[in-house]
């Protein structure tokens, strides 16, 4: 089955230890987050993203050839690539903006729930280009023209959706710089759960949630709050070496133990 054929048939959200990069790592993890979840319910987004990446690769190849002196002049070719790049960029940016708006209030609510109303978080889409600069083709081409000398100097495209980021603030401070490990994990989980809800709403079916070691770095209060949040959310698979709070508390949770290759139900 092709990736495109699977879009809209089912959706999954994974919460893994390495996903802490979403709130601790570089902006590329922000773009990955938007691309992965938008692509699972929007075939149009996936097509636009693939087209943008194809054009970007061609434009970068041309810029590198110009930088290395393999191509003396490429202004006309760059103009042509810019028009195609802008067309795809506008659609990608609009979809990302809508997606972040859809999950924003839910992220705030989930963080408040997990932290016992102690922490307030704000997330916002921060595109490398203001959408207004792309609304008119002539204005958009002028915008790209401003960066052309730098693009040729470095042999790569310096502006566009491939440089977008998400601003994440907690209690009015940048989470990445000032947040504790537990706070960064709380926001990461909240963003993933909010994405799960948006996908489920768009697909009109519950997306599947898979969590691995979700309780690490969490105290008992956050652990219980997370379990309360997961209870009744459809199909959830949770793997952990820590079984605190699982057995006998939630009617809709079944607990299995894996020991020496044997699986038994508690």
pLDDT of residue 6: 47
Q: Please report the sign of the dihedral spanned by the C-alpha atoms of residue 61, residue 63, residue 68, residue 69.
A: positive
Between CA 54 and CA 66 the distance in angstroms is 19
pLDDT of residue 1: 41
Q: Which of 94, 85, 95 is nearest to 137 (CA)?
A: 85
User: Domain 3-265, what architecture?
Assistant: Up-down Bundle (1.20)
Tell me the three-class secondary structure of the chain, residue by residue.
CCHHHHCCCCCEEEECHHHHHHHHCCCHHHHHHHHHHHHHHCHHHHHHHHHHHHHHHHHHHHHHHHHCCCCCCCHHHHHHHHHHHHHHHHHHHHHHHHHHHHHHHHHHHHHHHHCCCCCCEEEEEECCCCHHHCCCHHHHHHHHHHCHHHHHHHCCCCCCHHHCEEEEEECCEEHHHHCCHHHHHHHHHHHHHHHHHHHHHHHCCCCEEEEECCCCCCCHHHHHHHHHHHCCCCCEEEECCCCCCCCCCCCCCCCEEEECCEEEEC
pLDDT of residue 229: 79
Domain spans in the chain, listed from the N-terminal domain onward:
3-265
Give phi and psi for 126, each to the nearest 5. Answer: -125, 85
pLDDT by residue for the chain (266 residues), tens digit each?
444 454 545 678 888 889 999 999 999 999 999 999 999 999 999 999 999 999 999 999 999 998 888 877 778 898 899 999 988 998 999 999 999 999 999 999 999 988 877 889 999 999 888 766 667 777 888 888 889 999 999 999 999 999 999 999 999 999 999 999 989 999 999 999 999 999 988 988 888 888 887 777 777 777 788 888 777 666 788 777 766 555 545 566 677 777 777 777 76
Q: Which of 189, 166, 168 is nearest to 20 (CA)?
A: 189
Between CA 11 and CA 39 the distance in angstroms is 10
pLDDT of residue 252: 64
CB atoms within 10 A of CB 119: 19
pLDDT of residue 243: 64
């Amino acid at each position: 089955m092709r990736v495109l054929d699977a879009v809209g048939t089912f959706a999954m959200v994974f919460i893994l230890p390495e996903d802490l990069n979403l709130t601790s790592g570089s902006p590329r993890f922000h773009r990955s987050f938007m691309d992965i979840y938008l692509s699972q319910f929007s075939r149009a987004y996936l097509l636009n993203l693939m087209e943008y990446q194809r054009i970007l690769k061609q434009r970068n190849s041309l810029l590198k050839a110009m930088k290395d002196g393999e191509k003396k002049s490429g202004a006309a070719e760059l103009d042509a690539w810019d028009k195609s790049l802008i067309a795809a960029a506008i659609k990608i940016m609009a979809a990302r903006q809508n997606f972040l708006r859809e999950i924003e209030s839910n992220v705030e609510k989930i963080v408040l729930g997990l932290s016992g109303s102690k922490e307030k978080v704000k997330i916002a889409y921060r595109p490398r280009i203001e959408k207004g600069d792309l609304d008119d083709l002539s204005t958009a081409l002028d915008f790209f023209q401003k960066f052309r000398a730098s693009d040729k100097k470095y042999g790569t495209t310096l502006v566009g959706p491939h440089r977008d980021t998400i601003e994440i603030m907690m209690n009015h401070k940048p989470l990445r710089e000032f947040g504790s490990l537990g706070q960064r994990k709380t926001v990461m989980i909240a963003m993933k759960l909010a994405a799960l809800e948006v996908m489920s709403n768009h697909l009109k079916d519950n997306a599947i949630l898979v969590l691995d070691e979700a309780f690490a770095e969490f105290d008992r209060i956050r652990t219980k709050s997370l379990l309360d949040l997961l209870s009744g959310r459809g199909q959830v698979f949770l793997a952990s070496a820590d079984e605190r709070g699982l057995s006998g508390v939630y009617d809709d949770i079944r607990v299995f133990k894996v020991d020496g290759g044997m699986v038994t139900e508690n």
